[in-house]
């Protein structure tokens, strides 16, 4: 599942960045747009995962309780 539409058009944005960090990044020819997009995509994925877990915590707990009490389908057939 994609975190965001990678085909969406680019949009100019103004940011405030530590001037020394910006200077050093430019000296190293770091692509600021690509670096920011990658970092934002990682953070978005983390936040979406946290949100999904929070929204599904009751179902996850119910499943875990069921498995603890009843076991899983393969309990009788697995050999390990």
Ordered by start, the domain boundaries in the chain are 19-70
Q: Residue 73's pLDDT is what?
A: 80
Q: Residue 3's pLDDT is what?
A: 83
Question: Helix axis angle, 32-55 relative to 19-27, nearest 10°?
Answer: 120
Is-contact 53 60, C-beta < 8 A?
Answer: yes
For residue 80, pLDDT over 70 is answered with no
Helix (H, G, I), strand (E, B) or coil at 5: coil
pLDDT digits (tens, 9 = 90+) for 6-57: 999 999 999 999 999 999 999 999 999 999 999 999 999 999 999 999 999 9
Q: Residue 9's pLDDT is what?
A: 96
User: Please, where are the H alpha helices in the chain?
Assistant: 19-27, 32-55, 57-70
Among candidates 44, 45, 35, which has minimal Cα distance to 15?
A: 35
Q: Residue 74's pLDDT is what?
A: 77
């Amino acid at each position: 599942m994609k975190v965001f539409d990678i085909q969406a058009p680019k949009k100019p944005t103004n940011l405030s960045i530590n001037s020394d960090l910006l200077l050093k990044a430019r000296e190293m020819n770091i692509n600021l747009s690509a670096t920011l997009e990658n970092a934002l995509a990682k953070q978005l994925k983390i936040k979406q995962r946290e949100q999904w877990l929070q929204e599904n915590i009751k179902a996850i707990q119910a499943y875990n309780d069921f498995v603890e009490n009843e076991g899983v389908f393969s309990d009788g057939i697995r050999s390990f």
